[in-house]
């Protein structure tokens, strides 16, 4: 038996029901999943930028090999092209950060403050206690 009790920041406030604990756990899990998606968005941004740099190298090599028409095609049709209409990847990242993510983070925090006095991971702390208590 472990006497590793959750610290006060992870304990259920007096009177909080199981369904509220579960709902806050799901809300936290949803935010964590959105954060993982955010990481993939940054990976997309960085990989697309890396591909752009590789295209610049390919254009130089095509020209060096005497394939000016093909180099011109890459420059005209792909190099510097928006990945979405009117947007490069940095703009997509900024829009996600300033819109969806900011709303998600602020709403999760507001609800957690309203219902649990700001306490985080109550559901997980209770699961740990059940499994190791």
Question: Over the stretch 63-113, which tens digit does the pLDDT of each residue have?
Answer: 999 999 999 999 999 999 999 999 999 999 999 999 999 999 999 999 999
Q: Which domain holds residue 109?
A: 22-128
In a domain, 84, yes or no: yes
Q: Would 39 be classed as within a structural domain?
A: yes
Give a yes or no: residue 121 inside a domain: yes
H helices then E strands: how many in the chain? 5, 0
The sign of the dihedral angle between the CA atoms of 104, 105, 109, 115 is: positive
Identify the CA nearest to 56 among candidates 67, 71, 44. 71
Q: Decide if 8 is inside a domain.
A: no
CA–CA separation, 100 vs 25, rounded Å? 20
Number of domains in the chain: 1
pTM: 0.82
Q: Residue 47 domain-assigned?
A: yes
């Amino acid at each position: 038996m472990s006497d590793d009790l959750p610290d006060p920041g992870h304990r259920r406030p007096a009177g909080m029901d199981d369904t509220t604990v579960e709902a806050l756990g799901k809300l936290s899990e949803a935010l964590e999943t959105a954060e993982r998606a955010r990481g993939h968005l940054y990976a997309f941004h960085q990989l697309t930028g890396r591909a752009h740099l590789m295209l610049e190298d390919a254009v130089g090599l095509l020209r060096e090999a005497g394939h000016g028409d093909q180099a011109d095609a890459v420059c005209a049709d792909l190099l510097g092209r928006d990945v979405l209409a009117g947007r490069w990847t940095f703009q997509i990242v900024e829009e996600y950060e300033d819109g969806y993510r900011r709303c998600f983070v602020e709403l999760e925090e507001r609800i957690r403050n309203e219902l649990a006095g700001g306490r985080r991971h109550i559901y997980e702390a209770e699961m740990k206690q059940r499994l190791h208590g």
